[in-house]
Amino acid sequence: MKNTALLVTRLFDADGGAIEITDCVPRFIQHGRMFQPTMLVRHVRRIAGRPRIAVRLRPTCAYGAQRPQVTAGSNHVRYVMPELTLRLTTDLSLTALLEERPVFLDGAVTLILGPDQSATAAVAELGRRFIDDTQVYWRDWVRRLAIPFEWQQEVIRAAITLQLNAFDDTGAIVAAMTTSIPEAAGSDRNWDYRFCWLRDAYFVVNALNRLGATGIMERYLGYIVNIAADAGQAALQPVYRINGSALLEETTVASLPGYRGMGPVRVGNQACMQIQHDVYGSAILAAAHMFFDERLDTRGDPALFERLEDLGHRALTVFDSPDAGIWELRGKLRVHTFPSVMCWAACDRLARIARRLGLAEREQAWRADALRIHAYIVEHCWSPARNSFVGAVDSEALDASLLLLVEIGFLKADDPRFAGTVAAIESELMRGDFIFRYVETDDFGRPENAFVVCTFWYVNALAALGRRAEARALFEKLLARRNRHGLLSEHLDTVTGEPWGNFVQTYSMVGLITSAIRLSLPCGRGVLAGQTGAVPASARFASRALMPIRRDTRMGTPGFW
């Protein structure tokens, strides 16, 4: 449903019967606070003919290994499980539901699956109110977005998707809603992404900041500040549970065969035990918004700055130390370039925050540290033979994270070293129209599919180099790879275009938003004026309303700094 998170499905039978199914997860303001229960509302109505429907509801627990105890009331069915009891309240025949028996649908039925609580009104009335109020919430939320002029519907759908991946209660942002969809067929690259990666969340926060969706950003900043406080002097993990817990033991589930039978199905993620030095930059860059964004209610102060300095000191001690890198290699530890760059970014932003707070001595100290790391990277991670930065010290291999050197502010767009790096990546990592994150053999062999966000990074790099026509053409090809709902997975088969990897992938939707903002024409540039003549005042006003947030070229990243 346009500009909402509601899903409308229409089904037709061979005899001319047709039904419309509206699925809604309630979300709206009630009694001065957000009402968002763990609930699914489904409304099914006849739109043609005399259709018959059968409803099958078969909840399981323990990842499919156990079935719940089922009890029926006058208008509801309870599904009792060890850790949760669900209640289905409905005006459909309970006999037909429990026996999965087909019945004619003459008008409409409503099914509300959620907590084990009695309905406060007739189920049809309650379901309709939930659906209507949720529509109003989403459309109001979308109206407040600062979207680019072009590709508006694509950006809106991506923004709604990112909102759905944010856990409002704690502020955590989930990387994807699924586990164990393989990166490629039969690859065993099956991972559980239902957690909050500090790196991924930073990119989400930046994208939503550009759209003006500050609520998610504020809640995440609270989450990351608490994560840093809990860590104390210990190293930050790359990934945490949505409640902030550091425990993510990785196990496999024997009771499930996996996506298309391609197991294993994993629960938890071993990445929590890895050393990934870019986390310090990710945390500080996210928290820096609190010092520069005047829209936020919670502002950064010297006390928060001191806590961030602890993370900066960690970055200083590890920037030239081996880690698993941004791509979380399980069998190789090297001094990777991107983590070192993010350690530089941590020091660079701390210097800027210190200047903002009027702490001249601290600004000078952090600026000196940033310059030292910058010099190290230039000396050890630049390959004259390749005319490119490389993925790690003492390596000639490339990885796609090098496309972010301008975005993070490490290089200027007109630096010839950036153009050389992009050219090298085009030569080595591009397959057809898409970019692989790397091509060297890792713990599971050679990667088989392209990592979607890397191609968006390449689109942005082309734009930064002034190759906008190429960037726009490739961006359109990426948009064509979305599914019917406008969503993207983690990986793509470069030949067939088939999506692979966990879904919906926040990284990919972030890439769509950032590239659309970067490439969109201002709406006054001949678009509303039919390419000729003066632009009317109303169009110029619309242009200001739709323009993306300004770009601060000193920081190398859009936003308020």
Separation between Cα atoms, residue 553 and residue 531, nearest integer Å:
29
Separation between Cα atoms, residue 60 and residue 171, nearest integer Å:
28
Residues 156, 135 share a domain: no
Give the total number of structural domains in the chain: 2
Residues 490, 343 share a domain: yes
- pLDDT for residue 110: 98
Largest CA distance in the chain: 79
Residues 127, 156 share a domain: no
- pLDDT for residue 523: 65
The helix/strand/coil state of 296 is coil
Per residue in 310-322, pLDDT tens?
Answer: 999 999 999 999 9
Neighbours of 553 (CB within 10 A): 12
pLDDT tens sequence for the chain (561 residues): 999 999 999 999 999 999 999 999 999 999 989 999 999 999 999 999 999 999 999 999 999 899 999 999 989 999 999 989 999 999 999 999 999 999 999 999 999 999 999 998 999 999 999 999 999 999 999 999 999 999 999 999 999 999 999 999 999 999 999 999 999 999 999 999 999 999 999 999 999 989 998 888 889 989 998 998 888 778 899 999 999 999 999 999 999 999 999 999 999 999 999 999 999 999 999 999 999 999 888 889 999 999 999 999 999 999 999 999 999 887 779 999 999 999 999 999 999 999 999 999 999 999 999 999 999 999 999 999 999 999 999 899 999 999 999 999 999 999 999 999 999 999 999 999 999 999 988 888 899 999 999 999 999 999 999 999 999 999 999 999 999 999 999 999 999 999 999 999 999 999 999 999 999 998 645 444 444 333 333 333 333 333 333 333 333 333 333
The beta-carbon contacts of 247-254 under 8 Å, at least 24 apart in sequence, are 247/272, 248/195, 248/272, 250/192, 253/63, 253/64, 253/65
First to last CA, the chain: 36
Neighbours of 54 (CB within 10 A): 11
Is 119 domain-assigned? yes
Residues 149, 137 share a domain: no
Q: State which residues form the domain around 432.
A: 144-546
- pLDDT for residue 96: 96
Residues 212, 68 share a domain: no
Residues 362, 506 share a domain: yes
- 479 and 154 in contact (C-beta within 8 Å)? yes
**Residue 46 Cα distances to 9, 18, 106, angstroms:** 12, 6, 6
Residues 415, 339 share a domain: yes
Domain stop point among 95, 113, 141 = 141
Task: Give 166's strand partners.
Answer: 173
Q: What is the 3-state secondary structure (H, E, C) of 485-547?
A: CCCCCCEECCCCCCEECCCCCHHHHHHHHHHHHHHCCCCCCCCCCCCCCCCCHHHHHHHHHHC
- pLDDT for residue 89: 97
- 207 and 216 in contact (C-beta within 8 Å)? no
Domain stop point among 90, 120, 141 = 141
Domain stop point among 141, 160, 179 = 141
- pLDDT for residue 441: 86
Is 210 domain-assigned? yes
- For Cα atoms 409, 415, 420, give the angle at the middle one, nearest 5 degrees: 110
Is 560 domain-assigned? no
- Please provide the DSSP assignment of 98-110 as one string: HHT--EE-SSEEE
Separation between Cα atoms, residue 6 and residue 25, nearest integer Å:
7
Residues 153, 38 share a domain: no
Residues 110, 242 share a domain: no
Per residue in 144-188, pLDDT tens?
Answer: 999 999 999 999 999 999 999 999 999 999 999 999 999 999 999
Is 556 domain-assigned? no
The helix or strand, by DSSP H or E, that contains position 71, with its residue range, turns out to be: strand 69-72
Separation between Cα atoms, residue 455 and residue 430, nearest integer Å:
9
Is 1 domain-assigned? no
Residues 153, 115 share a domain: no
Domain CATH number, residue 356 = 1.50.10.10
pTM recorded for the entire structure: 0.91
Looking at this protein, which amino acid is placed at residue 304? L
Is 554 domain-assigned? no
**Residue 414 Cα distances to 144, 405, 410, 466, angstroms:** 35, 12, 12, 9
Residues 258, 156 share a domain: yes
Per residue in 511-521, pLDDT tens?
Answer: 999 999 999 99
Is 256 domain-assigned? yes
Is 365 domain-assigned? yes
Residues 156, 81 share a domain: no
- pLDDT for residue 83: 86
